[in-house]
Amino acid sequence: MVTISEKGYPLVSADDPKTLVSTDWLAAHLSDPDLRILDGSFYLPTEDRDPRAEYDAAHIPGARFVDINEISDARSELPHMVPPVEKFISRMRSLGVGDGHQVVVYDGAGLFSAARLWWLFKLMGKSDVAVLDGGLPKWQAEGREVEDLPPVIRDRHITVQRQAHLIKDVTQVAAASKIGTPQIVDARSAPRFRGEEPEPRAGLRAGHIPGALNVHYKSLLNDDSTMKETDALRAVFEEAGVDLKKPVITSCGSGVTAAILSLALERLGHGQHSLYDGSWTEWGSYGDLKVATG
């Protein structure tokens, strides 16, 4: 049963195993036999960080490492595109993640790439998946236990039902840009969105998809990289001109931080959001697609 606020909005628990859980929640459930914890850390090349090495040095007890660059479509020239269903199944089984498991995903930035892995699970029809609010930095700042031991993995069957409505390709996004619906919301920073800063990937034009709105993903987070309360999230979207009663396509540089917007929309009970997987890396490289600036 969904509780509704006085303003008619659905109220989401601070600990929701289908979207976001606190470090207190994870600590209380750490020994649950059907809990699976995944380290989905990913960093931009400019950050000069090695997520696998950091995982090997220290991770939440029992956590398994997932490389979003590896669990992707190797046939695509675009970075970390959604993998074929068969590859997702294979990688999850090798990690001992399957049906009946409650999955919690975290990353070493606080709340960054973990949302992408959450969205990928959701795309594959798995709903019992949550992001750890504040991630590994908050966990460690609170003095909680970490380890450097490899997990004991047992194969587990996993059933997948791809939810095609949660993902959009360039043709669908181009149609939305032209028609004006669904709304396209870009998670990149305002200077990148306006075309005032060059893109970090070589060869990409600067600017944004015509008609898109801008909600920088960091505007949805607190200073400690935890996600803001739902009323604050709603205010950020509305101040950017997003109509939360209408469908939304989230986008960003390469489909990672767009998932933070998707997670926030899910927290708000917005059931009509999808993600543009190719994002600006795809759009900005096609010379025949229009680009807006300013």
- In this predicted structure, the answer to whether residue 192 has a pLDDT above a threshold of 90 is yes
Q: Give the closest residue to 93 by CA, choosing from 120, 61, 66.
A: 66
The pLDDT tens digits of the residues spanning 246-267 come to 999 999 999 999 999 999 999 9
How much is the pLDDT for 281? 97
Given this chain, do its domains 3-162 and 165-283 carry the same CATH topology? yes
State whether CATH 3.40.250.10 applies to domain 3-162. yes
Residue 4 has pLDDT above 60, yes or no: no
Cis peptide before 200 (omega within 30 of 0): no
Please state the domain extents for the chain. 3-162, 165-283
Cα separation, 150 vs 30, in Å, equals 16
Please report the pLDDT score of residue 201 as a whole number: 84
Over the stretch 43-73, which tens digit does the pLDDT of each residue have? Answer: 988 899 999 999 999 999 999 999 999 999 9
| pLDDT-derived band at 113, boundaries 50, 70, 90 | very high
- Which amino acid is it at 25? W
- Write down the pLDDT at residue 13: 63
Please enumerate in sequence order all residues whose Cβ is within 8 A of that of 8, keeping only pairs 6 or more positions apart, or say none.
Answer: none
Q: Determine the pLDDT at residue 146.
A: 98
Query: Quick check: helix, strand or coil at residue 67?
Result: coil
Mean of pLDDT values over 142-160:
95
Judge whether 116 and 167 are in contact, CB under 8 Å.
no
Q: How many CA atoms lie within 13 A of 16 on its CB side?
A: 19
The 10 Å Cβ neighbour count of residue 198 is: 12
What is the mean pLDDT of the segment spanning 117-132?
98
Query: Which one from 109, 176, 252, 258 is the annotated catalytic residue?
Result: 252
Q: What is the DSSP letter of 49?
A: -
What is the mean predicted confidence (pLDDT) over 129-157? 96
* Predicted local confidence at residue 239, as pLDDT: 98
- Higher pLDDT: 45 or 141? It is 141
Cα dihedral 104, 38, 95, 158, rounded to 10, equals 30
CA 146 vs CA 36, 58, 64, 225: distances in Å: 15, 6, 13, 19
What's the pLDDT score for residue 280? 97
pLDDT reported for residue 198: 87
pLDDT at 14 over 90: no
CATH number among 3.40.50.2300, 3.30.160.250, 3.40.250.10, 2.60.34.10, domain 165-283: 3.40.250.10
Measured CA to CA, the distance from residue 266 to residue 269 in angstroms comes to 5
Please name the residues in contact with 88: beta carbons below 8 A apart, sequence gap of 6 or more: 71, 120, 124, 160
Q: Answer whether 254's CB lies under 8 Å from 73's CB.
A: no
**Is omega for the bond preceding 182 within 30 degrees of 0, making it cis?**
yes
pTM: 0.95
Per the annotation, the verdict on 252 as an active-site residue is: yes
What value does the mean pLDDT of the chain take? 94
Whether residue 182 contacts residue 213, with contact meaning beta carbons closer than 8 Å, is answered with no
Amino acid letter, 32: D
Query: Running DSSP on this structure, what letter comes out for residue 197?
Result: S
pLDDT value, residue 199: 86
For residue 70, the model assigns a pLDDT of 96
**Could you read off the pLDDT of 193-245 as tens digits, one per residue?**
999 998 888 889 999 999 999 999 999 999 999 999 999 999 999 999 999 99
Q: Does residue 92 carry a pLDDT above 90?
A: yes
For residue 5, is pLDDT > 60?
A: no
What confidence score (pLDDT) does residue 2 get?
A: 41
